[in-house]
Amino acid sequence: MCFKNLPIVFDDDGKARLRDGMSDPYAVAVAEPRDFVRSAQQRSSAGALAAPPRLREWSIDPVTRVAGALAVHTVLDLETRKAVEAHSQAMLFRGYEIILKGRDPRDAIDISSRACGVCGGVHATVSSLAIEMAFGIQPPPLGVCVRNLGEVAEMFYDHPLHLGLLAGPDYSTAIVSVTNPELVDLAAKTLAPHADVHGYVTIKDLMDGFNPLEGSVYLEALEYTRIARKMCTLMYGKYPHPSTLVPGGVSTTVSTTTFNEYYANLGLIFDYAKRLAGIWDDICDFFLQADPSYSEVGLRPSNLIQTGIWDDPSVYDACYSNIDAWGQARYSAPGIITEGELITTKLTEINMGIEEFVEHSYYEDWTTNGNGSVRFNADELGNPLSPYHAWNKETIPRPQGKNFKEKYSWDTSPRWDRLSMETGVYGRMWTTAMAQQLPDNPYIEATGDGLRMLLPAHDLPETELFWKIPEKLNAFERNRGRAYGVAFTAVIGMICLMQAFEYWRKGETSVSTSFKVPRDERVSAGFWEAGRGYLTHHMHMDKGRLINYQINTPSTWNASPRDPFGHPGPYEEAIVGTPILESVADDDIKGIDILRAIRSFDPCMPCTTHMDTGRGVITREVNSCGCTLE
C-alpha cells in the first residue's frame, strides 16, 4: 500500500482514487505540538512530576546581513547528556512565489534561479522543466544531455564545498582538540586504512587536513569548486545562474571542444571521488569505532523523499501523462522510502502524496482564507490532490512573534503521506540502489543494498567503490553518503557524456526546440533535484501569465517546523536524542555534536550563529543559502 495516512486507495488497475465514504478526506486534526522535555519529565514520575532534570536551553541564533538564516533552539539534558528538545527556525521570508505572480512564465527561469546561491543552476533547470511541460514541448536529445552534464557539474560544486568547507571542519584537529582531545591522541596512533588512496598516513593527518583555511582537505575542496564551475560553464555558458537554460533545451553553443574539455575535467573528478570516499570512510569509521554513541548523532528514521534527476534523452518527453515512465528512467531514481523500505518510484504517487502545512509557520492557511473551494482536486490523470498540495497552495505571509507552541518559522512543513521526510544526495543513492532500475551501463550497478560504481582510471587506477545503504541514518552516514555521492555523480556524468558524444557523432546536434507561449490555461510541474535533494516547481498559468508558482526545495523539507499533527521536522527529529559526547565539563560544552547533526543535512540557509551556552556567547558559523525559505 502506497499511502497509510492519506485517504488514497488504488483500484485493480492501479488507478488512484479517494477512499469511499469520507466527507472531508483531507481533514486535519490539529494536535498539540510534541514537547519532548515535558514528556520526559512526566515519564520519569509516578503520578507526580519528577525533579527537573539539569536542563539547559541552547539557542543557535543567526546574525545575517543579506540572505536567509536558520536558527535552532534546543534544550540539553546535562544529566543524560542528550538534546531533549529542538525547534528549527527559518528566519527570513523569501517571497519568490509572490514576486513571480503575474509574470511571463519564462521570467521564472531567471528569477527563481536566484532562490539559491549555492545551487546556481538547479532552479533554472527545474523551472525550464516546468515550463516545457506547460508549453507542450520536448527538448532534442542533445539538449537533455547538455542539461544533464551541467547538472552533474553542479553537484561537483556542491558536494566538495560541503564536505571540505562546511561539514569538514567539524572533524578537524582544530575543533576536536577542544571538544575531545583524547580523540586527537587516539587519531595520532591510528593508521588511516585508505592511506594508499588519499595519502594521509594517520587519522590525525586527515583531521589536520580538515583544519579551516590551511588544511589540505579544506583547500583541495575549495580548488575543486573551481573545476566544477569550469565544467558548469562549459555546458551553461555561465555559472552560477546560467542564462542558457530555456524551455525545450539549452541555448548554449556546444562544440566538440566543449565535450572534450568537460571530459578532461571529469577525469580529475574521478580521482577526487576516489580520494573523497577513502577520506570519509576513514573519518567516519574512526569516530564510530572510537565511540559507538556517535551513531546516535543526528539519528532519525530513514524516511526519504527524492524527485530524481538526470533524464534519459530517449525517454524524456516532458509530458505529465508519461511522467512515471521518464521519471523511472532517470539515472538517479525518484522515490519514497519510509522506515528504510522503498514505497514507490512513481512521480505521480510522489506528487499526489505531497502536502504543505503552515500551522507553525508565519503564513496564513490558504484553505481557510478563501472561499473554501479547492483549485485542483486531481491532476490531469485523475490522481487525487489534497487542498494542501502545491498546485492549490497560496503564499500568504503573516509575520508575527515567535511562539514555539504556535508559529515560529518562515519555513513551511511539507509532508508526504503526512510523514516528515528527509532528502539528500544519500537519499537519491538510496532510492537508486533499491529501485534497481538503472539502464545497462559499464559504470554503475544498483544491487538493492547499495551501489557498485566503477571509476575509470585517471592518475589513480580504475577503482571500484561500493556504497552500502546504511543501517542507521545519522550524521556520519549522511556525510559518508555525500562523499560517495561524488563518485555516484561522476559515473553518471560519464554515461551522459558518452551519450552526448554519440548524439554528436550521429549529427544530432540540436540542443533546443522552438516554442510559442500558450495563451490558454496550463498546469505543470518540474521535478528535479538540487545537490541536497528534492526540488519541485509547481506552476499554473493562463493568458501567458503565471497565476501561481510554488517552489519547494530540499531544505524546505529538512528544516521544516512541526506539522499540524505535532510531529517535528527532520532537523528537529535529528537533534532530539543526539548525545553530547564532548569530554569537557558542562560549562565548556561547545555543542559540536548538535552542529554535526545539523550540518550533516547540508542546510541551505546562510547564517552566522551565536551559540548561547548560558555562560556567554560563542560565535559560530553555519552554512548555506536562502533556498529553504518561502
Nearer CB in complex with other proteins: 457/584: 457
In what helix (H) or strand (E) does residue 549 lie, and over which residues does it extend? Answer: strand 545-552
Nearer CB in complex with other proteins: 180/463: 463
Nearer CB in complex with other proteins: 258/420: 258
At residue 552, φ and ψ (nearest 5 deg) are -130, 120
Burial of 489 (0-12, 13-18, 19+ CB in 10 A): buried
Q: Which three cell numbers stand for residue 368?
A: 481557510
Q: What stretches of 237-295 show up as alpha helix (H) in DSSP? A: 256-290
Question: In the complex, what is the shortest distance from the CB of residue 199 to other proteins, in angstroms, rounded to a whole number?
Answer: 19
**Residue matched to cell numbers 477512499:** 19
Q: Which three cell numbers stand for residue 65?
A: 546581513
Distance CA 440, CA 463 (A): 19
Nearer CB in complex with other proteins: 350/435: 435
Question: In the complex, what is the shortest distance from the CB of residue 143 to other proteins, in angstroms, rounded to a whole number?
Answer: 9
Cβ distance 596 to 322 under 8 Å? no
> Which residues are registered as beta bridge partners of 15?
none
Q: Which three cell numbers stand for residue 447?
A: 544491487
Distance CA 358, CA 118 (A): 26
For the chain, the C-alpha Rg in angstroms (whole number) is: 24
Distance CA 483, CA 154 (A): 15
Question: In the complex, what is the shortest distance from the CB of residue 197 to other proteins, in angstroms, rounded to a whole number?
Answer: 17
Question: In the complex, what is the shortest distance from the CB of residue 524 to other proteins, in angstroms, rounded to a whole number?
Answer: 17
Nearer CB in complex with other proteins: 350/425: 425
Nearer CB in complex with other proteins: 341/621: 621
Q: Which three cell numbers stand for residue 59?
A: 539557542
Nearer CB in complex with other proteins: 16/491: 491
Burial of 46 (0-12, 13-18, 19+ CB in 10 A): exposed
Distance CA 431, CA 422 (A): 13
Count Cβ atoms below 10 Å from residue 373 Cβ, excluding itself.
9
Nearer CB in complex with other proteins: 485/568: 485
Nearer CB in complex with other proteins: 115/347: 115
Q: Does the N-terminal peptide bond of residue 240 adopt cis geometry, omega within 30 degrees of 0?
A: yes
Question: In the complex, what is the shortest distance from the CB of residue 264 to other proteins, in angstroms, rounded to a whole number?
Answer: 8
Question: In the complex, what is the shortest distance from the CB of residue 507 to other proteins, in angstroms, rounded to a whole number?
Answer: 5
Nearer CB in complex with other proteins: 125/383: 125
Question: In the complex, what is the shortest distance from the CB of residue 254 to other proteins, in angstroms, rounded to a whole number?
Answer: 7
Question: In the complex, what is the shortest distance from the CB of residue 194 to other proteins, in angstroms, rounded to a whole number?
Answer: 18
Count Cβ atoms below 10 Å from residue 404 Cβ, excluding itself.
16
Nearer CB in complex with other proteins: 192/604: 604
Question: In the complex, what is the shortest distance from the CB of residue 510 to other proteins, in angstroms, rounded to a whole number?
Answer: 5
Burial of 293 (0-12, 13-18, 19+ CB in 10 A): middle
Nearest to 68 by CA among 548, 553, 394, 533: 553
Question: In the complex, what is the shortest distance from the CB of residue 621 to other proteins, in angstroms, rounded to a whole number?
Answer: 4
Three-state DSSP state, 612:
strand
Distance CA 522, CA 540 (A): 6
Q: Which three cell numbers stand for residue 256?
A: 566538440
Strand 335-338 versus strand 82-90 pairing type: unpaired
Question: In the complex, what is the shortest distance from the CB of residue 321 to other proteins, in angstroms, rounded to a whole number?
Answer: 24
- Helices 216-236 and 141-160: crossing angle in degrees, nearest 10, is 160
Distance CA 137, CA 565 (A): 41
Question: In the complex, what is the shortest distance from the CB of residue 424 to other proteins, in angstroms, rounded to a whole number?
Answer: 16
Nearer CB in complex with other proteins: 237/298: 237
